[in-house]
Structure 1
Amino acid sequence: MNSPARAPTITEHELVARCQRGDRDAQRALYEQTCERVFRVLVRMTHSRDVAEDLAQETYVKAFSAIATFDERSGFSTWLYRIAVNEALQWLRRKSPTSLDPAVAASRSDPRHNGQNTETHLDVAAALDTLSPIDRAILLLRYQEGLDYRAISDVLEIAMGTVASRLNRAREQMRERLVDFNPRPEEKAGSMHPNRHVQEGESARLPAKRL
């Protein structure tokens, strides 16, 4: 018996082209392909699932409203990240500024010391909160989302040299605040890799699209 034929995989490029023609099914498919990544970045940027949900919805409303003008000079995902990160940065600028004192934020004890020679450390969320919003975005895009310097440069619309220098600074700041912040072998030459929690990010899905 012949197995049923699988439906052909539709590429992101094809979905974008169909969205530009007003295809709502293509919009839904493109949303489903990208929403978890967008939501994950927004949660890490804002430390609030509720805020991240609102910003994600705004991101997709803006993206699909402007998709007819998308010219593919950068990939769709890069363009979408740009919208999402800009939404997060605007939200961070609007909210009441709060400074996180590392001495106060370092309130959790490392359980591996079992009370002996206890060393306090910041958890990842608190450590990220000590970074500037731009540096936080660079760190997350590099290590959580796996973007290279050029893609991060495109997302944030800053020079690649600026990406590199700010990433180095963010790594140094994180290394000072976290116990488990060790380099991978391939990153040892002048770079540092954050611990697994930054890589894993948030796994929760967005609720059903409300576009």
Structure 2
Amino acid sequence: MWEWMYEGFWDKLEHFCYKLCREESRAEDLTQEVFLKALQNRELLDSFNQRQCKAWLFATARNLYCDQLRRKMKEESLMREMLPEGDEEPPDETAEAALGTVDLETLLELLDPLDRAMFTLRYEEGYNASELSKIFHLPPGTVRARLMKARTLLKHELLEE
């Protein structure tokens, strides 16, 4: 079974991880971490069929990536709190350069307040649809649909500019 999982999913999982983090080395590390988790949960995976194993691998990759994002944001928050009064971190010029002339705040104003809040929590804070559904008291499918609608609207606006 392990050979089948490794041979059948390593490349696909690594590609999925790359789509999440957009860095080749981080994608490789994340893929390795998923397979380490699989080894730690061998008994559970042995009870799954092939389709369930695949789903477990990809869900674990997504969850580990979200955990990494949350940890990174928490570390950055703690680092900002530790700076003495008046000290500021240098601005992140790469983000400004990537956005060019697009004003993110103005773009987000196009969304209704609920969609804006969901979009911000999802893509800036790293919450997933299940967590957002609990926060906003909506079914997870509704949260995913609203996020997709927001992404489509923002993409359309960005392409017009």
TM-score tier after normalising by the smaller chain length: 0.5 to 0.7
Deviation at 1:28, TM superposition (A): 2.9
**Is the CA contact (8 Å cut-off) linking 1:92 and 1:133 kept in structure 2?**
yes
Query: Is residue 99 of structure 2 the alignment partner of residue 106 of structure 1?
Result: yes
Q: How does 1:58-77 map to 2 (within 5 A)?
A: 58-70=33-45, 71-72=47-48, 75-77=52-54
Out of 16, 19, 26, the position equivalent to 1:41 is 16
Deviation at 1:33, TM superposition (A): 0.5
Cα distance in 1 between the residues matched to 2:157 and 2:15? 21
Query: Is residue 7 of structure 2 the alignment partner of residue 32 of structure 1?
Result: yes
Three-state SS of the structure 1 residue aligned to 2:41 is helix
The structure, 1 or 2, with the larger RCO (C-alpha pairs under 8 Å, 6+ apart) is 1
- Give the alignment's TM-score, normalised by structure 1: 0.43
Stretches of structure 2 that go unaligned for 5 or more consecutive residues are: 78-91, 108-118
**Is the CA contact (8 Å cut-off) linking 1:46 and 1:92 kept in structure 2?**
no
Cα distance in 1 between the residues matched to 2:16 and 2:101? 24
Q: Which amino acid aligns with 1:133?
A: G
- Give the alignment's TM-score, normalised by structure 2: 0.54
Deviation at 1:134, TM superposition (A): 4.4
Three-state SS of the structure 2 residue aligned to 1:72 is coil
Q: Which amino acid aligns with 1:63?
A: A
Deviations 1:16-36 (A, max 9, x none): xxxxxxxxxxx2332120122
Counterpart in 2 of 1:124?
A: none
Out of 65, 70, 73, the position equivalent to 1:88 is 65
Query: Is residue 161 of structure 2 the alignment partner of residue 168 of structure 1?
Result: no
CA root-mean-square deviation:
3.9
Deviation at 1:51, TM superposition (A): 1.1
| Matched residues, number | 116
Q: Percentage identity across aligned positions?
A: 19
Deviation at 1:72, TM superposition (A): 2.2
Stretches of structure 1 that go unaligned for 5 or more consecutive residues are: 1-14, 16-26, 110-120, 122-126, 139-152, 182-211
Three-state SS of the structure 1 residue aligned to 2:156 is coil
Counterpart in 2 of 1:204?
A: none
Higher helix proportion (structure 1 or 2)? 2
Q: Which amino acid aligns with 1:34?
A: F
**Is the CA contact (8 Å cut-off) linking 1:45 and 1:133 kept in structure 2?**
no
**Structure 1 runs (4+) greater than 4 angstroms displaced:** none
Cα distance in 1 between the residues matched to 2:157 and 2:8? 32
Out of 146, 155, 159, the position equivalent to 1:178 is 155
Query: Is residue 25 of structure 2 the alignment partner of residue 50 of structure 1?
Result: yes
**Is the CA contact (8 Å cut-off) linking 1:55 and 1:88 kept in structure 2?**
yes
